Amino acid sequence: MPATSLDPVLITGCSSGIGKAAADLLVKAGHTVYATARRPETLADLEEAGARVMALDVTSEGSMNAAVQRIETEHGRVGTLVNNAGYGEYGTVEEADLDKVRTMFETNVFGLARMTQLVLPGMRRAGRGRIINISSMGGRITFPVGGYYHATKHAVEAISDALRSEVRGFGIDVVVVEPGITRTGFEDTVHASVANGAGAEPDSPYATLIAQNVQNTSSGYSNPLLAVGPDSVARTILKAVEADRPKTRYLLTPAAKALVAARTLGGDRVWDALVKQQFKH
C-alpha cells in the first residue's frame, strides 16, 4: 500500500507537543496533513512548513463537523485520523473537582469518539482508512492522584479494541500509540491541576500524597533515561501511518514497557507494592 493511499491525514491537538511534532514530521515525509487546534494562530509554523491548518475544537459538534466536511469536500474522505487532542486533570478520587473531570472526559474520550464517528462513513465508502488513537502508558497502568486521567486513557484503550473488530471488515485499521513519559509541557499541566485542586490545601488528608506525586512527576520528566521528547512519539505515529500492516499497539520507552509488564505479570499485589514504595503517606 503506497504511503499516500491513507492521505489526507487529520491530526487533532497540533498547537504543541506530540501533535505538532507529528504534523511536522508527516509533512516532511510527503503526506497531505491537516493540522488542527482550537486556536489556529498557534499553527502558523506548521502552515509555513506545508501543513493545511484549520480550527478544530473536539468539544464542539459544529467545529468537528466543519473540519471533516472540509476535508471530505476536498479529498472525498479522511484517509487517516490521528486522535491526539487531550490533557490531564489530576487530583485524588475523593477531592477532585468533578466538573473539571467531566470537561477532561469531553476532550479525551467523547471528542475522540465523535471524531471517529464522523470520519468512518467516508472511510467505509472508500474501503480503506486508518484511525490512530494517542493513548498513554497510563491506559495500561494506574497511579494515585491520576485516577480520573487514567480512566480517560483506559476508555480510549477499550474503545479502540472494540472499534478494531467492528471496522476490520471495511478495510479500516485501528492503532493505539501509548507513549511513556514525554516532555511536552504535560508536567506543567499536571502541576497546575494539582496546585489548583482541593488536595493542595495544607489540611487535606492527602497533602503528603499530593506532595509525593509532584516530586515523582518532576523527577520522572527530568530524567533523560525515563522521558523522551515528542519527536520520538512522532516517529512512531509516522510508522503507524505508513505501515502496510500496522501493529495494534505501539508502547513507547523501555521504562513504560517495564511498568506495563510489572502490572500485567505481577498482578495486584506486586503492583500495589511498587506503588506503595513510590507514594509513601
> Catalytic site residue 15?
yes
- Catalytic residue, candidates 149, 206, 221, 250: 149
3-state DSSP helix/strand/coil % of the chain, to nearest 5: 60, 10, 30
Amino acid at 146: G
- Catalytic residue, candidates 34, 90, 135, 148: 135
| Partners of residue 173 on adjacent β-strands | 130
3-state secondary structure 33-55: EEEEECCHHHHHHHHHHCCEEEE
How buried is 199 (Cβ within 10 angstroms: 0-12 exposed, 13-18 middle, 19+ buried)?
buried
- Catalytic residue, candidates 34, 90, 148, 153: 153
Q: Residue 63: CB partners within 8 Å, gap ≥ 6?
A: 55, 56, 57
**HSE of 42, CA atoms in CB hemisphere, 13 A:** 15
> Catalytic site residue 153?
yes
Catalytic residues: 15, 135, 149, 153
